[in-house]
A and B are shown apart, each in its own frame.
Chain A
Amino acid sequence: MNAADPWKGYRGRAREALQSLGGRVWADVEIETETGTFVGIILPRSEQADDRHVVLKLPTGYNVGLAVDKIRRIAEHGFREAKYKIPEKEFPFDPVKPKVTLLGTGGTIASRLDYRTGAVIPAFTPGELYGAVPELADIANLTTIKLFGVFSENMGPEQYIATAKAIGEQIEKGVDGIVIGHGTDTMHHTSAALTFMVQNSPVPIVMVGSQRSSDRPSSDAAFNLQCAVNAAARGPIAEVLVCMFGPTSDSYNLLHRGTRVRKMHSSYRSTFRTISDIPVATCTPDDVKPLRSDFRPRRMDRNVTVDAVFDDRVAIVYYYPAMKPDIIWSLIENGYKGIVVNGTGLGHVNKPLYEPLREACKRGISVVMTVQTIWGYAHMFVYDTGRDLVELGVVPCANMLAEAAYVKLGWVLAHTHEREEVARRMLEPVNGEITEREPPDGYLVFQGGLPEVEEFLRRGWR
C-alpha cells in the first residue's frame, strides 16, 4: 500500500533527511546517530506527528523515535513490508441456519485500525469476519454488504436513506434478519431514522457497534457481533434495535428500541441506555430474553414499508441561560424548516427568545420542544413560560429524545410542511419515540457510594 510513497507519513525535515540519507519505510536498517547505533525497521509515521523524528521498530517489537537531526548514516539491510490482512477463511454455509445480512456503514465494529495512519481496515467480507469471529458461523449464514465506510459522525440523511433502501431490498430477498455495523457516536440518530424510514419490518433490524475497537484483545466487538447476529437470526423482535453491552462485563447485551436509546458515556462499553423506559430484551450469543411483551413480533411475510425521505433543513437548539435571540433569527433567515428546541426543565427558554420563536411559527417553521434533562416529559402547562411558548406555537414533544425528535422532524418535513400536520405526525409515535407512560424504573441512575448500590456492584454487576 505504500509502494507509491516510500516515506509515508513523513514530512518536512524528517522527509528530507530520509530522502537524502537513503532511508525508506519498511526498510530493515542500521541507523547511526550522534548517540549510538540503532537497528530496526523504519515505520511509516502518523501524519499528525511532528517532522523531527523517524520511527524505528526495534527487533524486540518496541517502537522508538529518533531525532532526524542526530542521524548521520542509514544503512539498509533488507525490506519487510507488513502484510496487514485479517486471516480469511471461507464462511461455512449451513442450510438449516438462518440467513443474516450484515450491512456495513463503517465505525470500529468488525474493522481494525491501521496503526500507522489511523485509517480503518475493515474486516468485512464474511471470510474476514469468520477469521476474526469464527463463532458467528454457529449462529447464522452471513452475507455482508458494504454500504459506506464512514465514522458515525459522518452519517447523515443521505446515508440514512441508502441504508433504509438497502434494508428494504434485503427483506424482500428473504433474509431472516439484518445487522447494521455502525460507529457508536450517532448510532441512536441512525436507529431512530431507520425506525421511521423502515416500518412494519417482518424481521429484526439490529444495529451494533463497539466501544473498544477490535484491534484490542479486550474489544467488545466480537461479543456485540455475536449477540447482534443472534438477535437478528433467531430473535423474536422485528423492530429496529440497538444491541450493545448491558453491564460493562462481557456478560449480556441489551436490545434497545431504536427511538428510545441514547449513548450515555463517552467511553464505557455499557454506554447505550434506554431512556425513560426499559429495554426490549436482553441478549447473549445464544439467547434473546424479552423484558417486555409489547414488541412487534417476527413475521413470515415480506410486507415492509420503506419510506426513505429526509428534509435536512432541521436544527437542534440546545438552550442555555442568556441565550440570545440571534441564534433563532439566524435559523429563520437561513431557511430552516424545523427547529427542535432542547429546553431546560419541563421545556423552557428565556423571554428574549419568544419573539423569534413567534416569528418562526408565523413563517411556517415547525418548532418543537424536547427536554435537556434527557429523562422525563416536556410538560409545558405547569409554568407560565411553558404556557407562553405553547401559545407562540411551540409543540411539546412529550418524552421524545432530542435526537429522535431531530430525526423525526426531518423525516416528517420531507412529507409535509404544513405546520399542523407536522405537529400531528410528530406526536403520533411510530415506535416508542413517545410513550404514554414512564414506568417507575424508567429512570435509574444509581449513585455510587450508597451501601445498597455498593452491594449491588459487589454481587450483581456481572
Chain B
Amino acid sequence: MDPWRHTLIHGIDFDDAAFYGALGFKCGLEIHQQLDTRKKLFCHCPVGYRNDAPDAVILRHMRPTLSEMGTYDGTALMEFKTHKQVIYHLYRDNVCTYEMDDTPPFPINQEALDDAIEIALMLNCKLVDEVHITRKQYLDGSIPTGFQRTAIIGVDGWIPYRDRRIEIQQLALEEDACREVDDKRHTVVFRTDRLSTPLVEIVTKPDMRTPHEAAEVDGLLGRLLRASGRVRRGLGSARQDVNVSITGSDRVEIKGVPRTPDIRALTHYEALRHKALLELRAELARRGITPANFPHRERDVTGMMAKTRNERLRKLREAGGRLRAVLLAGWGDTLAWKTQPGLTFADELGGRVRVIACLDEMPNLFVLDGRGTGVAVHEEAHVRKALGAAAGDAVVLTFGPAEDAQTAVNEILERARNALAGVPQETRQHLPDGCRTDFERILPGPDRMYPDTDSPPVPLARDRLAAIVAQQAKRPWEREELYRARGVPPSTARQLAIHRHARVFERLLDHTPTPACTTAVALADWDKALRRNLRREGKLLPLPAPETLETFLRLAAQRRTPCRALRLGLARLYETGAADPPPPLPDPELQALCETVVRESATAWWRTRTKTVDHLLGLAVERSAGRAEPATARRILERLVPPEPPAPVTAKSC
C-alpha cells in the first residue's frame, strides 16, 4: 500500500459505533450492476466493449429542458453553464442509430426486464404493476440523448443485516451511459460501446451507521446480485455511488467508488469533511457572515498584473485571458480551513472552478494571503490594495479565457455562499488515494425526471411474475444456510452460494444419490481449480455450460462414479468437453487389481496393518485412475493383507 494511503487509514476503527453515532453518520448506497443479456436495453446491438480506434466520430451539444412538473433541474443548468462540446466515438459493431440518438427506442429488452424483476423479488421489493419508462436528464454528455432511459421495477425492499433490516428504497432498470475517454477544457470525449447496456440500479435507504457497515452491505448486495446469476462480471460491470451525510449536513454522493473496501475510508473522510464545513459555517457566523450578510467584491486585475513573474499568468495575458480577483470580506484565513487531509476550503472553490468554468489546469486559483503562493508577495499586496482588502478579508485570484474567468468568479462566490448554509448537495469524485473526494457536479434532484414519450408503459402480467417467481434464485444467505445444513463445508457453501453453478447444485441436491458435499466441491472448488489450471496453461477453452455439468454429474451419480474418478472425469470435461464420467471398476477387475497391488507390495509394511491397507488402497485408486471404488477395494484389501508384517528387514523403512 502506498504510504500516504497507509497513513490515512492506519489505526482507524471504521466500525466505531460511538464515534460515528456522535457524528450522526448516515450512509446509503446506489449500486449499478450490468445485466448479462445478449442485447442492449432499447436496441438490438450486442453488448460488448471496445478499446480500439472508433469507426466514426460525431459532435453534439446539450441544452436543459423543462420537466413535466414545469421546472428546470439545477444540475442540468450547471452542466449547461459549462458549454461543453461533446464528442462521441462510435463503433459499427455495437453502436447503432439508437445510441447516436438518431432513431427512437425499440421496445424494452424483455430478458432484461425479467432479470430486473427477479432481482427486485430477491430484494423483497414491492413490484410496480405497470413499468413506466422515464428519462433521467444528464447534460454532461454521457448519454447522447441527454437523458438516461430508466424505469422503476420495485420499491420498499429490504435485506437482513446484523440484527436489523437494511431497507431498499427502489430498484430501477436502466441503460448504461458512455465511458468518458477525455475531458479537457470545453471538450469532453465519450466512447459509446457501453452505452445502453442494461443495468439495475439498487438504492438503499441511508441505513448504514458506520463506514464499515456501508462496505459490508455493499458486499452483501454484491453477493445477492451474483447469486441471481443474471449479472455481468468483470471490470466496470458493477459500480457504486455512496451517499453520506452527518447531523446537520445534506446528502453528498461519492460517485463511482471502484472497490468495496474503499467505501470505508471514503465515507469516513467525507463525514469529516462535512463536520469541517459545518464548523466553518459556525466560524463564519461568529464573524457575522451569513447568507443575508455576505459582503464581497470582484474586479478584473489583468492590467495590474502586466509584469507578473508567474509565467503561466503572463502567457495567459498575452493570449487574451483575464485575471479576476474576488474579495470575501471578513473571511480572513478561512480559505485555509482544513476539510480533508491535505485539503482546504480553497480546494472546494478550485473544484467548482475546475468543473464549471472548465479551468482544469491546476491550480486554477491563488489565495492572496500574503504568502506569495502563485504570485509574488508585492503583486498580492497590489491586488489586495486595489480591491480595498482589509487585514481580515480573503482575496482569491482566478484566471482564464475571459468568459471562463467570469464563470470562475461566479462559481467562487456561489461556493462561498453555499458555505454559509453548510454542506452543499454535490456529487463528488474520489481522488486516486481512495480516501478523499473532489467536486464533480451539483447533486441532481427529482426535477430531472421526465416521462419517456417514446416508450409505452409495460404492464406486468400476473403469469409473467408467477413464472419468474417459480425459478427465482435463492438469496445467498439462504443458500449458505441450506448448503451447510446438507453437509457442505462452510467455505465451499459460501463460494457456491454466488457461483454460476448454484442452480445446478440445487437441482442435483435431491435428485442424485451423490453426497451434497461431493457435488458442491465439484461445482465450486474443483471448478475453480480446473479453471485456474487451464488459465495457467494458457488454454482459453470455452467453459462447460451449466447444463453440461448437470448432465455430467447426473451420469456420474447413475454410474456411481467414485469421487477420485469424478474429479478426473471433470478435468477431462473441462479440457475436451466430453461429459463422460468413468464408471467404477467391475468387481472381478477390482479384485485382480487389488491382488496385483498386494503382490507387488508384498514386502512393504507401514507401522500398523490399517496404515498398510490405506497405502495399498491409495495405490489401487491411483492405478485405476480413480475407478476403484474405495469401500469395496478396502474390503478386498482387508482380506488380502496378512495380519503381520512379512519380514523384519522392511520394518526399518517406517
Contacts and interface: CB of A to CB of B under 8 A. Distances in A.
Contact of B129 (A48, A53, A216): A53
Given A49-B456, A60-B449, A268 B102 contact: yes
Interface in B53-91: 53-70, 76, 87
A66 B151 CA distance: 14
Interface string A257-295: 000000001111100000000000000000000000000
A65 B70 contact: no
A108 to B, nearest CB: 11
Contact of B130 (A48, A66, A116): A66
Contact of B59 (A58, A80, A112, A249): A249
Interface in A14-72: 35-36, 38, 43, 48-50, 52-53, 55, 57-67, 70
B128 A66 contact: yes
Interface string B446-472: 111111010011010000000000000
B102 A70 contact: no
B61 A64 contact: no
A55 B452 CA distance: 13
A448 B60 CA distance: 22
A80 B137 CA distance: 22
Contacts of A61: 67, 134, 136, 445-449
A131 to B, nearest CB: 10
Contact of A115 (B57, B101, B136, B453): B453
Contacts of B62: 217-218
A223 interface: yes
Given A38-B126, A52-B459, A64-B130, 11 more contacts: A35-B126, A58-B152, A60-B446, A61-B136, A83-B70, A217-B76, A217-B146, A222-B63, A249-B59, A458-B53, A462-B58
Contacts of B156: 36
Interface residues of A, number: 61
Nearest to B85: A250
A345 B387 CA distance: 78
3 nearest A-B residue pairs (beta carbon): A65-B130, A217-B146, A61-B449
A113 interface: yes
B102 A63 contact: no
Given A217-B63, A218-B101, A62 B172 contact: yes
Given A38-B155, A61-B448, A223-B61, A84 B68 contact: yes
Contacts of B128: 64-66
23 contacts: A35-B127, A48-B456, A53-B129, A61-B67, A61-B445, A61-B447, A63-B449, A64-B129, A66-B130, A212-B101, A215-B66, A215-B453, A216-B65, A218-B60, A218-B62, A247-B58, A248-B102, A249-B60, A250-B60, A268-B97, A268-B103, A448-B92, A454-B55
A440 interface: no
A85 B448 contact: no
Contacts of A218: 60, 62, 101, 144-146
Interface of B: 53-70, 76, 87, 92, 97, 100-104, 126-132, 134-137, 139, 144-147, 150-152, 155-156, 169-170, 172, 445-451, 453, 456-457, 459
From B59, B128, B170, name the one whose CB has the most chain A CB atoms within 10 angstroms. B128
Contact of A217 (B55, B147, B169, B449): B147
Contacts of B135: 216
Contacts of A118: 453
Contacts of A55: 130, 132, 457
From A43, A48, A62, name the one whose CB has the most chain B CB atoms within 10 angstroms. A62
Contacts, number: 166
Given A85-B70, A215-B65, A461-B56, A269 B102 contact: yes
B457 A250 contact: no
A461 B89 CA distance: 11
B59 A62 contact: no
B15 to A, nearest CB: 30
B477 to A, nearest CB: 23
A49 B55 contact: no
Nearest to B69: A82
A35 B125 CA distance: 10
Contacts of A84: 66, 68, 70
A57 B128 CA distance: 12
Contact of B70 (A35, A82, A268, A461): A82
A441 B63 CA distance: 35
Nearest to A267: B103
A459 B101 CA distance: 20
Given A212-B101, A217-B64, A462-B59, A53 B450 contact: no
A253 interface: no
Nearest to B456: A49
Contacts of B101: 212, 216, 218
A251 interface: yes
Interface in A381-435: none
A265 B447 CA distance: 33
Interface in A169-226: 211-212, 214-219, 222-223
A323 interface: no
A249 B139 CA distance: 16
Nearest to B62: A217
Contact of A215 (B92, B151, B155, B450): B450
Contacts of B447: 61
A166 interface: no
A8 to B, nearest CB: 13
Nearest to A41: B69
Contact of A62 (B55, B60, B132, B145): B132
A211 to B, nearest CB: 8
Contacts of A50: 459
Given A217-B76, A218-B60, A448-B92, A62 B137 contact: no
A86 interface: yes
Contacts of B446: 59-61
A197 B509 CA distance: 82
